[in-house]
């Protein structure tokens, strides 16, 4: 199963009773394992948590620490980029040249790097004086 197939499969498990907008994400760690996540909404936080954040949490919980590749899929007219918070999380766990494949359920794709998604990302180097 490809990473995009894994993202499409987990997307079906998304809990989106308020927006109806289901998103799935899958990533491959540098250790070679696949981790996936989907968005989860709730009444107190109807915009919910993001699929990418869920996949990263699953990766960390499994003991992996770095991302090698990411795929994100949603039922939308154009590929949907990660939100700002997820872009920062991706930058925390992936090098700038890591490829993120954004896709629609209709088959459209857009490939970008983490650095293209978040130019000027905040990182630990910014805290060298602390």
13 among the known binding-site residues?
Answer: no
Whether 52 sits among the annotated catalytic residues: the reply is: yes
- What's the pLDDT at 129? 81
The predicted-structure confidence for 34-65, as pLDDT tens digits, reads as follows 999 999 998 777 767 789 999 999 999 999 99
Q: Going from the first residue of the chain to its last (130 residues), give the mean pLDDT of each consecutive group of 10, the final group possibly shorter.
A: 96 94 97 96 78 95 98 96 90 96 98 92 75
Domain boundaries, the chain: 3-127
73 among the known binding-site residues?
Answer: no
- What's the pLDDT at 117? 93
For the CA atoms of the chain, what is the radius of gyration? 14
6 among the known binding-site residues?
Answer: no
CB neighbourhood size of 58 (10 A) = 20
- What's the pLDDT at 72? 97
- Out of 34, 52, 69, 116, pick the active-site residue: 52
One of 3.30.565.10, 2.30.110.10, 3.40.140.10, 3.30.365.10 is the CATH number of 3-127, namely 3.40.140.10
């Amino acid at each position: 199963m490809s990473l995009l197939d894994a993202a499409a499969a987990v997307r079906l498990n998304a809990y989106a009773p308020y927006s109806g907008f289901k998103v799935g994400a899958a990533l491959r760690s540098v250790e070679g394992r696949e981790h996936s996540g989907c968005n989860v909404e709730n009444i107190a936080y109807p915009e919910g948590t993001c699929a990418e954040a869920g996949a990263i949490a699953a990766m960390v919980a499994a003991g992996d620490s770095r991302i090698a590749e990411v795929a994100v899929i949603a039922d939308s007219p154009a590929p949907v980029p990660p939100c700002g918070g997820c872009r920062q999380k991706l930058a925390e766990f992936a090098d700038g040249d890591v490829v993120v494949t954004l896709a629609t359920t209709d088959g459209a794709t857009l490939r970008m790097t983490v650095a293209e998604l978040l130019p000027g990302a905040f990182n630990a180097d910014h805290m060298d004086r602390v």
